[in-house]
Structure 1
Amino acid sequence: MPSSSRHPAVVALLDRAHTLGADPRNTNYAGGNASAKGSATDPVTGQPAELMWVKGSGGDLGTLTEDGLAVLRLDRLRALTATYPGVEREDEMVGAFDHCLHGKGGAAPSIDTAMHGLLDAAHVDHLHPDSGIALACAADGEKLTGECFGDSVVWVPWRRPGFQLGLDIAAVKDANPQAVGVVLGGHGITAWGDTSEECERNSLWMIRTAEEFLARRGTPEPFGPLLGDGYRPLPEAERRERAAALAPVLRGLASTDLRQVGHFTDTGPVLDFLSRAEHPRLAALGTSCPDHFLRTKVRPLVLDLPATAPLDEVVDRLRELHAAYREEYAAYYTRHATADTPPMRGADPGIVLVPGVGMFSFGKDKQTARVAGEFYLNAINVMRGAEAVSTYAPIEESEKFRIEYWALEEAKLRRMPPPKPLAGRIALVTGAASGIGKAIARRLSAEGACVVVADRAGPEAAAVAEELGGPDKAVPVTVDVTEEQQIEAAFATAARAFGGADLVVNNAGISLSKPLLETTAADWDLQHDIMARGSFLVSREAARLMRAQELGGDIVYIASKNAVFAGPHNIAYSATKADQAHQVRLLAAELGEHGIRVNGVNPDGVVRGSGIFAGGWGAQRAAVYGVEEEKLGEFYAQRTLLKREVLPEHVAAAVFALTGGDLTHTTGLHVPVDAGVAAAFLR
């Protein structure tokens, strides 16, 4: 694409997109699009060319960059009206947009390109505000649109996004010169203007006017009266405790067809919706706006028990409802599928609603799961607005299916890059704020896992989590592995943040290097409390959660060469490592029937970047071996068969090798990462 960063139309378009996209009242994440038209010099002819810059497929208005714009020649785009084969073949026009592109680079044109290009307006916004969709999804939306906006906004009946919808809107604008925008039935809004400022002003006027209209005309309790006490929100602590208990079960159910990551929210609007009498009816109607149900599925799974029901009863009922949901979804697919429909993508719910507790949403990664929840919150807001002034009336199920299994949507999914090896996996690493643990957290995150960074050093753990990408990639927990309650709290955080955990690394530890006669009982107890007892407690909680998920899992112990090699002045540390090494064997034997693999890594001589060595262990070991502390790594390397220094990254690589997918039939194994120490060979 020719450089256009200085073109005033592009500057104005990006400014407007960022303003509109920054406020969730205006549009949802990655929802809607905006465009600008202007003249630029054709580098081939040297003559002026009329161009359109429009947000491309898959972008987000709030974070839009110039690279996210598709740039098209307006004359070629509008010439497509002469070859348009009709609504039955309108999908072919998306491929035709490629022949209208101006220059190289830029984003792929989206299905909404025609909406922008065929409109005789210099600037166009297409948005999905909750207030606008509420009118678009009301049973008498056309009447309400007139009442709300007068003749400044025109109603356009539901039509699937595409070339014909662009023609329809262009005709409406031509027939209504006084109009500044349209409400698209079942969909959203489109506004325009001669300048970027005018277009933005018209978009915001439509959104705010609709908000004020719904507030002024709406009934105070559109979701009906409150249900009994059992459907009202549980106290926060109790609510979050139950969410942590349910999340692994729900994640396992939602991962029947494809492993998912979860997200939990208990915001006020969700809890209020679930406490009201009309929520079962409205939830069953499903979402309406295409951007909504593409991410949430056509309808959620709703628990029909009160929040006060016993946990075991709730879990049993959720399993029954999940089985019924899968049957219903398969029937929905069968009702509408044709010979050329893409295969069914999965029958599990994307949204699960639990009265008194909140909403669980699921997706291929944390961002997708979180955004699905945000979209269902949008759907609740839409239902509230529509019910306040009318009756919520989403588009027909058959239309939802046409979009969900649209060939263009399938093509978009196929263009996505293949998932990383650990995509969909949730890892919890102890001692992850420094040294080996930090290297492991980095590697697992780089390979696609969501990571819970667990460490006694809370601020340092938070810094690592931020480095890994923040809440959609990693969350920190402050945990002392000698404290059972803190470990339970760490796994509860993992459950609420990501839906559970299925890759747990026992790495937390300390090293006390003393001769036997100088080793106190307190030294012995501290060493064993942190590593032997701590690993046991972490593994026990991990196994409890993994069994609830029924997805199998991995537990990895970072043991040591010292687990099998006898060295001087190291009784407490080496004995503890031997304890950890045997825990691997014992747990591998016990947990295999649940698909949980337990393996170990035996490092040695990890000096550089090691938190343990930096904390005094290095000086102690250097004194034992009679070398300078700064040369300890070299000393360890020279006593190995490979003469290579071992770094934290090498240990992290071994953890990935054990968990990354190739060693699916390996459990009870200890992998040496010591550059070759013959005395530590496993026998």
Structure 2
Amino acid sequence: MTNKTVTDLIARSNRLGSDPKNTNYAGGNTSAKGTDVDPVTGKPVELLWVKGSGGDLGTLTESGLAVLRLDRMRSLVDVYPGVEREDEMVAAFDFCLHGRGGAAPSIDTAMHGLVDAAHVDHLHPDSGIALATSADGEALTKQIFGDRVVWIPWRRPGFQLGLDIAEIKRGNPQAIGTILGGHGITAWGDTSDEAEARSLEIIDTAQRYIEANGASAPFGAPVAGYGALPEAQRVSRAAALAPFVRGLASADRPQVGHFTDDPRVLEFLASEKHPRLAALGTSCPDHFLRIKVKPLVLDLPADAPIDDVKARLAELHQAYRADYQAYYDRHASPDSPAIRGADPAIVLIPGVGMFSYGKDKQTARVAGEFYLNAINVMRGAEAISTYAPIEESEKFRIEYWALEEAKLARMPQPKPLATRIALVTGAASGIGKAIATRLAAEGACVVIADLDAAKAQAAAEEIGSTDVAVGIAADVTDERAVQAAVDATVLVFGGIDIVVNNAGLSLSKSLLETTAADWDLQHNVMARGSFLVSKAAARALIDQKLGGDIIYISSKNSVFAGPNNIAYSATKADQAHQVRLLAAELGEHGVKVNGINPDGVVRGSGIFAGGWGAKRAAVYGVDEEDLGEFYAQRTLLKREVLPENIANAAFALCTSDFSHTTGLHVPVDAGVAAAFLR
């Protein structure tokens, strides 16, 4: 049975963490002290339950808590070697764990264990950090809170900070919490409700003060030409820039992207102070751990020609990399972790919005959320004072902390297709859905395009959250719709790496029964559709300069002459030759183009379910339910071909194992000798 102390702690954490005004994603931590039964002795023991390393308050569960014995943890004070060696104390926490210990203790554990209060909250609210990063934050804290909240100058999170806060609590019995310079807030209480109420009191009081006393235009006057473009123009411009910007942000390693045109971003970029403030960088440790010390900011008007924007971004990117390398060189010591890459995590485009990047969609999205937090902080600090983040050297100590490096080393190895972004047409069912599912399972972000938007969205929901898969409507015969699908892909995930031309249909008719409309329909969907999709995607692939894969789901019928199938087989032959033509043309850009030639995929196939199966069964003189087995028996391996078999081949072609293969047609037909490639 869960301890009530733990139940109350989790409920409090979830309430605080689910409201973005209180703390950023995965930011801050909460704790509770109480007693539980020692399973070894059967006697009560004093314990500390505290949010573990890397967890998120809004979604915290009991498994995300570290559980430590208070007596052992407090005894660490006697062996503390001093601030120069305080990192050693994190390893010492492991010797204080109770039972199985739960989650890994975080660097902030000392703050919670050493403060003499039953319940402690440490949060990163924008309003609190605005005070914490104000040039006269200490005086403002006194003015706003009197002696109810105490200012603590910046100190890197760790054991000494825990000792400092504990001393503040002892020396100021009237205080309910602290403002941590450059960092955030801490509050405490005798009960869980009291700690929560005091946290909210600090957050809300700071916010009310900023709103009542702050300057009306904290970012300064608007700058002509830098205002937000109209929405349609803004989104179109973002789509045109997204692949190019992603390519820049992926110079060291591929990244997934996220785009937002949040009004707060657009307002910031339209104001005169934004170049100075952006260059000062962020302050809260959570901020610059996720978004680096500062963003890359375009210094051209909102309506500058796209080619000029790209050229300038390329120049700024080189300057950013040189500046970041210099930052690393200024502060790195012989035992510092190696530089983790010099590309920006945040790219700001006046009039358009913000691109943010990370190892997956969630990381990229959260990075953008963190820069929004940073904008809010700068707005608040500039409204009541002057924004003054912590020193660059301190930022480096956090960013290249050995403890942070150890945390990164503990993360699981990425899946084979991690950071890759796929667009799969005709993917709401059958072969396309199987391919999308397999690519996502291997780490890719997937856009499922289908004529039926509702079915595409339902298929995406089956695969995972919108950080993994999204569904969109797309008619591959319509050039504008195809471009819209590619634009949607690059906007939602930052770019595009894999294109699977799978959309198709078939009408089984003899030559004399096939009408011109039958012929045009099949050629429009498969031959023309594949051409349009490949053309639109190729522009983005070339702009990214990251290579990529285009895969055509053709058919054994592209080389096998069967009866009553002229329109379908002819268009599949067209697709098959597109593979060869595009492989020859796009190779110089690192784009591989390959095809897959399945035999009749009956089970799970949208084409066969739509009447094609019945007609093919009639041609071969078998019952429709026996068609799959009929196809299997005519193969060399005597195996039925399933959608998952096609998906396996598509995945393989996208892996590094096929890095030197282009222009290939892979038969997935269980062995049809008449369809052997010659």
Return the offset for 1:105: 5.2
Return the offset for 1:477: 1.5
Query: What are the superposed Cα offsets for residues 272-312 of structure 1, whole Å, 9 maximum, x if unpaired?
Result: 00000000000000000000011111000000000111111
> Is residue 624 from structure 1 mapped to residue 613 from structure 2 by the alignment?
no
Q: Letter of the 1:252 partner, please give it.
A: G
Query: What are the superposed Cα offsets for residues 516-568 of structure 1, whole Å, 9 maximum, x if unpaired?
Result: 10000100010100000000010111111100000000000000010111100
Instruction: Choose 463-472 or 175-184, whichever is displaced more.
Output: 463-472
Instruction: Choose 412-421 or 105-114, whichever is displaced more.
Output: 105-114
Q: Letter of the 1:19 partner, please give it.
A: R
Structure 1 runs of 4+ aligned residues shifted over 2 Å read none
Q: Letter of the 2:247 partner, please give it.
A: G
In structure 2, the partner of 1:208 is 204
Partner of residue 166 from structure 1, selected from 144, 162, 167: 162
Root-mean-square deviation (CA, aligned residues, Å) is: 0.6
Matches within 5 A, 1:113-262: 113-228=109-224, 230-262=225-257
> Is residue 46 from structure 1 mapped to residue 35 from structure 2 by the alignment?
no
Counterpart Cα distance in 2 of 1:304 and 1:572: 54
Q: Is the 8 A contact 1:560 1:602 kept in 2?
A: yes
Return the offset for 1:211: 0.5
Q: Is the 8 A contact 2:68 2:101 kept in 1?
A: no
Partner of residue 294 from structure 1, selected from 289, 292, 301: 289
Q: Letter of the 2:431 partner, please give it.
A: I
Matches within 5 A, 1:340-379: 340-379=335-374
Matches within 5 A, 1:94-105: 94-104=90-100
Partner of residue 528 from structure 2, selected from 527, 533, 545: 533
Q: Is the 8 A contact 2:150 2:175 kept in 1?
A: yes
Query: What are the superposed Cα offsets for residues 384-432 of structure 1, whole Å, 9 maximum, x if unpaired?
Result: 0000000000000000000000000000000000000000000000001
Counterpart Cα distance in 2 of 1:173 and 1:10: 23
Q: Letter of the 1:338 partner, please give it.
A: S
Q: Letter of the 1:496 partner, please give it.
A: L
Q: Letter of the 2:176 partner, please give it.
A: V
Partner of residue 581 from structure 1, selected from 576, 583, 586: 576
Q: Is the 8 A contact 1:295 1:372 kept in 2?
A: yes
> Is residue 83 from structure 1 mapped to residue 79 from structure 2 by the alignment?
yes
Counterpart Cα distance in 2 of 1:200 and 1:26: 11
Partner of residue 449 from structure 2, selected from 450, 454, 470: 454
In structure 2, the partner of 1:57 is 53
Query: What are the superposed Cα offsets for residues 306-330 of structure 1, whole Å, 9 maximum, x if unpaired?
Result: 0111111011000000000000000
In structure 2, the partner of 1:72 is 68
Return the offset for 1:237: 0.1
Q: Is the 8 A contact 1:491 1:541 kept in 2?
A: yes
Return the offset for 1:45: 1.4
Q: Letter of the 2:201 partner, please give it.
A: W
Counterpart Cα distance in 1 of 2:2 and 2:474: 51
Counterpart Cα distance in 1 of 2:37 and 2:536: 65
Aligned residues: 678
Query: What are the superposed Cα offsets for residues 10-57 of structure 1, whole Å, 9 maximum, x if unpaired?
Result: 000000011001100000000000011111111111221000111000
Q: Is the 8 A contact 1:116 1:124 kept in 2?
A: yes
Matches within 5 A, 1:388-537: 388-537=383-532
Counterpart Cα distance in 1 of 2:329 and 2:261: 34
* Helix, strand or coil at the partner of 1:31: coil
In structure 2, the partner of 1:566 is 561
Counterpart Cα distance in 1 of 2:43 and 2:648: 57
Return the offset for 1:470: 2.5
Return the offset for 1:217: 1.1
In structure 2, the partner of 1:37 is 33
In structure 2, the partner of 1:681 is 676
Instruction: Normalising by structure 1, report the TM-score.
Output: 0.99
Counterpart Cα distance in 2 of 1:304 and 1:291: 27
Aligned pair in 2 of structure 1 residues 291, 109: CA closer, same or farther (>3 Å)? same
Q: Letter of the 2:615 partner, please give it.
A: Q
Q: Letter of the 2:541 partner, please give it.
A: M
* Helix, strand or coil at the partner of 2:471: strand
Q: Letter of the 1:54 partner, please give it.
A: V
Counterpart Cα distance in 2 of 1:56 and 1:467: 31
Return the offset for 1:637: 0.9
* Helix, strand or coil at the partner of 1:160: coil
In structure 1, the partner of 2:10 is 14
> Is residue 613 from structure 1 mapped to residue 644 from structure 2 by the alignment?
no
* Helix, strand or coil at the partner of 1:360: strand
Counterpart Cα distance in 2 of 1:619 and 1:210: 71
Q: Is the 8 A contact 1:436 1:652 kept in 2?
A: yes
Return the offset for 1:472: 0.8
Counterpart Cα distance in 1 of 2:139 and 2:281: 23
Counterpart Cα distance in 2 of 1:329 and 1:210: 34
Query: What are the ranges of 5 or more consecutive residues in structure 2 without an aligned counterpart?
Result: none
Counterpart Cα distance in 1 of 2:621 and 2:196: 73
Q: Letter of the 2:607 partner, please give it.
A: I
Instruction: Normalising by structure 2, report the TM-score.
Output: 1.00
* Helix, strand or coil at the partner of 2:439: helix
Counterpart Cα distance in 2 of 1:219 and 1:444: 51
Q: Letter of the 2:528 partner, please give it.
A: R
Query: What are the ranges of 5 or more consecutive residues in structure 1 without an aligned counterpart?
Result: none
Q: Letter of the 2:135 partner, please give it.
A: A
Counterpart Cα distance in 2 of 1:35 and 1:651: 51
Aligned pair in 2 of structure 1 residues 379, 664: CA closer, same or farther (>3 Å)? same
In structure 2, the partner of 1:108 is 104
Q: Is the 8 A contact 1:40 1:50 kept in 2?
A: yes
Query: What are the superposed Cα offsets for residues 214-261 of structure 1, whole Å, 9 maximum, x if unpaired?
Result: 111101100000100x10000000000000011100000000001001
Return the offset for 1:605: 1.9
Q: Letter of the 2:150 partner, please give it.
A: V
Q: Is the 8 A contact 1:67 1:105 kept in 2?
A: no
Counterpart Cα distance in 1 of 2:677 and 2:513: 30
